[in-house]
Structure formats: structure tokens, C-alpha cells
């Protein structure tokens, strides 16, 4: 029997949570932004090693400026978090430290991956300039549009969950 793991994607609206899931699950991308309301749940099986699979249940939550506004029931039984922000919009990462600390305090043993998405819209210089914010927290810089490091993000988290 394949183990199922619930992964919740959090972050401001418009940062690309839905796009990351669509890229990972269906390998597609749409430039049109459609607001997610409530929650969409997708599922994808990931091969962890030669004989080992895990079923990822991906909860794509409606985006909020403040993580504390997330409906608590959505987070019940979460095995892993992916916190996504938009590298091209500072508003989406200005409270990154507070947001991540809140998650770490309230979900002590749940792994968190912090993801700066929309890498295709910024320069390496921009990332260097914000190194003081990014260096301490960010695990992955991704582009859902180009598909870069999306697969790696989910598979790395999946491995940590087993």
C-alpha cells in the first residue's frame, strides 16, 4: 500500500501556488491568473526510490497576506508545508520571517519548504540584493512557468516525509 502525505501550500495570493501544483501534477502552465478560493486538492504519486512510492495529496489554499487568517481546519493532519512567495513582489516576502516562525512554532515537527517563485521574472542581481531576507529562509527558487526546480521541490519534500 502506498503511503499518502498531505502537503499544504501557503502564501500570499498571486504568488503561483496553483501554478506550481499544475506544473508538478499536469506539467502545464497558464499565464492567466485565476484566484483560488477555499481549497483545491490534487494528488500525485512520486517515486522516491526504486521500489518506493508516496502519494502526495496537495492542498492548494486560497492566498492570504497573513498566514494566521488561514482556516485552521485546512491544516488538520498536515505532513508538510510549502510556503510560496513571489520573488518579483516584495509585499509577498516582507513578512517572511514572521510567517515562517509562526508555522515553526505551531507545527513543530512538520517540515517546511520555503519557495521563491517566478524566478523567470527577476535577475540574479535582485536575489543577491535581497540575500539578507532570502539566505536564512529560502530553500528553492523556482519558476512554475519554466518548470525549473519544481519537480525537485516536491520530490525532496516527499523524501523527507518518509
Partner 1 sequence: MTLDTYKKNYHKNKFQYLLTNHLAVILESDDTLFVLEQKTALDDVHPFFESLLSLFKTKGETYHFSCVNLIVKGKDVIVDISIHNQDGNKNLVVIEDLTNHYNNYQLTAQTRNDSVINSQILELKNKYLLEKEDFKNTFITNFSHQLRNPITSIATFCNIISDTNLSAEQKNYLHIISSANTDLKNRIDDVLDIAKINSGQLILTKDVFSLATFLDEIVYEYKSLAANKNLDFSAEIDTKLPEFIEGDKFRLKQIIDNLMSNAITFTTKGSVGFHISLNYIRANKISLHIEVTDTGIGINPSDYDLVFERFAKIESPIQNDENIGLGLAIVKHLISEMGGNISIESQKNIGTKITCNLSLSTIPRTYKEPKKTASPKTFNFARKQNVLLIDASELTQLSVLKTLALEGNFYLEIVSNIAALSEILLKQEFDIILLSNKLGNHSAEELIKKVLKTSRDYKDVPKLILTPEISSTEIKRLIRVPNTDYIKTPFDKNILLETIYEYLKK
Give the total residue count for the chain: 162
139 binds partner 1 (CB under 8 A): no
89 binds partner 1 (CB under 8 A): yes
- Closer residue to partner 1, CB minimum distance, 24 or 59: 59
What are the backbone angles phi and psi of residue 14, rounded to the nearest 5°?
75, 15
Dist. CA 102–CA 96, nearest whole Å: 10
Do strands 52-61 and 80-86 pair parallel, antiparallel, or not at all (unpaired)? unpaired
Q: Are 31 and 145 in contact (CB under 8 A)?
A: yes
Minimal distance, residue 144 CB to partner 1, in Å: 16
Minimal distance, residue 40 CB to partner 1, in Å: 5
Cβ neighbours of 146 (radius 10 Å): 13
Cβ neighbours of 104 (radius 10 Å): 13
Among 29, 48, 70, 74, binds partner 1 (CB under 8 A): 74
C-alpha cell at 64: 492570504
77 binds partner 1 (CB under 8 A): yes
64 binds partner 1 (CB under 8 A): no
27 binds partner 1 (CB under 8 A): no
Minimal distance, residue 106 CB to partner 1, in Å: 18
Helical ranges in the chain per DSSP H: 17-26, 96-106, 124-129, 131-137, 150-161
Among 26, 27, 28, 33, binds partner 1 (CB under 8 A): 33
Residues forming contacts to partner 1 in the complex (CB under 8 A) are 4, 6, 13-14, 33-35, 37-43, 55, 57, 59, 62-63, 71, 73-74, 76-77, 88-91
Amino acid at each position: 500500500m502506498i503511503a499518502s502525505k498531505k502537503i499544504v501550500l501557503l502564501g500570499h495570493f498571486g504568488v503561483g501556488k496553483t501554478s506550481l501544483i499544475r506544473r508538478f501534477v499536469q506539467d502545464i502552465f497558464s499565464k492567466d491568473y485565476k484566484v483560488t478560493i477555499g481549497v483545491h486538492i490534487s494528488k500525485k504519486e512520486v517515486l522516491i526510490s526504486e521500489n518506493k512510492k508516496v502519494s502526495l495529496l496537495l492542498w492548494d489554499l486560497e492566498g492570504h497576506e497573513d498566514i494566521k487568517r488561514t482556516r485552521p481546519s485546512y491544516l488538520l493532519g498536515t505532513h508538510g508545508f510549502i510556503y510560496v512567495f513571489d520573488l518579483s513582489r516584495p509585499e509577498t516576502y516582507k513578512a517572511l520571517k514572521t510567517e515562517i516562525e509562526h508555522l515553526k512554532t505551531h507545527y513543530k515537527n512538520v517540515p517546511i519548504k520555503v519557495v521563491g517563485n517566478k524566478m523567470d521574472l527577476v535577475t540574479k542581481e535582485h536575489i543577491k540584493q535581497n540575500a539578507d531576507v532570502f539566505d536564512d529562509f529560502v530553500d528553492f527558487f523556482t519558476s512554475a512557468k519554466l518548470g525549473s526546480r519544481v519537480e525537485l521541490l516536491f520530490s525532496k519534500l516527499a523524501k523527507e516525509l518518509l
